[in-house]
């Protein structure tokens, strides 16, 4: 007798005809699939087995068209597919190419209408990146920096990527040296122009705070604990003195 997860995967979703339902129904199916991967992954696939089982393959095939713009136009449907793939990547060993494709697509997803589900997907995928491939930290840095440099002239894109760094500053700590110059360059653009919004000014302050937190962590890693508290006070004073508060 089949369990409920097998019935859902084998008889409810249809990977061979992923657009056989309306977008609203497809979103619900993607949401339920994400919940099953998050809460019942052991009933879908043995994480210790690198060879994909049928259930896992079915779920990935169902979500895959959401990565292809020509196949998936509705933003909500598209990024709920990304959310499912992010859950799968966080739970199972997935090919590096797929991990990078999903991550890169989410990094570029700054449209307002998809903000909530994109953030959900990045909250799951970003912490998993360093451990999902041998050069995980390198890839994390490469794609984050690439988008800041090449597409950061679009303010919405720049805000999207820098907010990710702020939320996951602990994940980015090992590769901070590659990002700090670009973060500092973004401070003036975001926080100290006459047209800067409250949201952008807050982000500028958050970026400065992240740089300070990284420096405090470096001191903790490199020095005797007795030096940490004075260093924290000194850095806090420097921030207060050098960043105008309005």
Q: Are residues 115 and 140 in the same domain?
A: no
Length of the chain: 246
Q: Are residues 189 and 144 in the same domain?
A: yes
Average pLDDT over residues 124-145: 91
Above 60 in pLDDT, residue 228? no
Domain end: 114, 133, 152, which one?
133
Q: Are residues 114 and 227 in the same domain?
A: no
Closest CA to 130 of 142, 140, 143, 144: 140
Per-residue confidence band for 180, with pLDDT thresholds at 50, 70 and 90: very high
Above 90 in pLDDT, residue 213? yes
Q: Are residues 178 and 69 in the same domain?
A: no
Per-residue confidence band for 244, with pLDDT thresholds at 50, 70 and 90: very low
Q: Are residues 26 and 138 in the same domain?
A: no
Query: Which range marks the domain in which residue 15 is found?
Result: 1-133
Average pLDDT over residues 26-32: 93
Q: Are residues 128 and 139 in the same domain?
A: no
82 or 192, which is more confident?
A: 82
Domain end: 133, 162, 177, which one?
133
Residue with tokens 């806090």: 236
pLDDT of residue 227: 54
Residue with tokens 């307002």: 112
pLDDT of residue 246: 41
Cβ neighbour number for residue 95 with a 10 Å cutoff: 13
> In total, how many domains does the chain have?
2
Q: Are residues 179 and 215 in the same domain?
A: yes
pLDDT of residue 31: 95
Domain end: 116, 133, 150, which one?
133
Return the beta strands (E) in the chain as ranges. Answer: none
Q: Are residues 205 and 233 in the same domain?
A: yes
Per-residue confidence band for 217, with pLDDT thresholds at 50, 70 and 90: very high
**Cα-Cα-Cα-Cα dihedral sign, residues 173, 174, 180, 186:** negative
Q: Are residues 57 and 146 in the same domain?
A: no
Percent of the chain with pLDDT over 70: 88
Above 60 in pLDDT, residue 242? no
Q: Are residues 68 and 8 in the same domain?
A: yes
Q: Structure tokens of 117?
A: 């589900």
pLDDT of residue 108: 93
pLDDT, tens digit (0-9, with 9 covering 90-100), for 49-61: 777 788 899 999 9
Transcribe 101-116 into DSSP letters.
HHHHHHHT---GGGHH
Q: How far apart are CA 108 and CA 161, in angstroms?
A: 8
pLDDT, tens digit (0-9, with 9 covering 90-100), for 75-125: 899 999 999 999 999 999 888 999 999 999 999 999 888 899 999 999 999
Average pLDDT over residues 148-155: 89
Average pLDDT over residues 156-165: 94
Which of 74-78, 154-158, 189-193 has the least mean pLDDT? 189-193
Average pLDDT over residues 218-243: 64
- Do 33 and 15 form a contact (C-beta atoms < 8 A)? no
Above 60 in pLDDT, residue 166? yes
Q: Are residues 53 and 160 in the same domain?
A: no
Q: Are residues 113 and 191 in the same domain?
A: no
Torsion of CA 95, 50, 14, 86, to 10 degrees: -50
């Amino acid at each position: 007798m089949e369990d409920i997860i097998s019935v859902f995967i084998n008889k409810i979703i249809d990977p061979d005809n992923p657009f056989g339902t309306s977008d609203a129904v497809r979103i619900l199916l993607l949401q339920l699939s994400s919940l099953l991967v998050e809460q019942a992954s052991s009933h879908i696939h043995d994480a210790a087995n690198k060879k994909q089982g049928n259930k896992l393959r079915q779920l990935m095939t169902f979500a895959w068209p959401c990565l292809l713009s020509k196949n998936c136009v509705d933003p909500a449907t598209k990024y709920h597919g990304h959310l499912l793939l992010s859950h799968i990547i966080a739970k199972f060993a997935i090919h590096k190419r797929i991990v990078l494709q999903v991550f890169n697509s989410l990094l570029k997803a700054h449209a307002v209408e998809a903000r909530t589900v994109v953030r959900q997907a990045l909250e799951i995928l970003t912490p998993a990146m360093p451990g999902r491939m041998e050069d995980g930290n390198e890839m994390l840095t490469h794609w984050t920096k690439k988008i800041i440099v090449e597409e950061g002239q679009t303010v919405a894109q720049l805000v999207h990527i820098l907010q990710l760094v702020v939320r996951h500053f602990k994940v980015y700590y090992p590769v901070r040296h590659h990002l700090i110059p670009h973060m500092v360059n973004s401070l003036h653009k975001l926080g100290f122009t006459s047209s800067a919004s409250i949201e952008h000014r807050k982000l500028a302050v958050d970026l400065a705070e992240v740089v300070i937190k990284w420096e405090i962590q470096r001191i903790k890693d490199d020095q005797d604990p007795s030096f940490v508290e004075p260093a924290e006070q000194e850095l806090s004073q420097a921030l207060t003195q050098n960043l105008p508060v309005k």
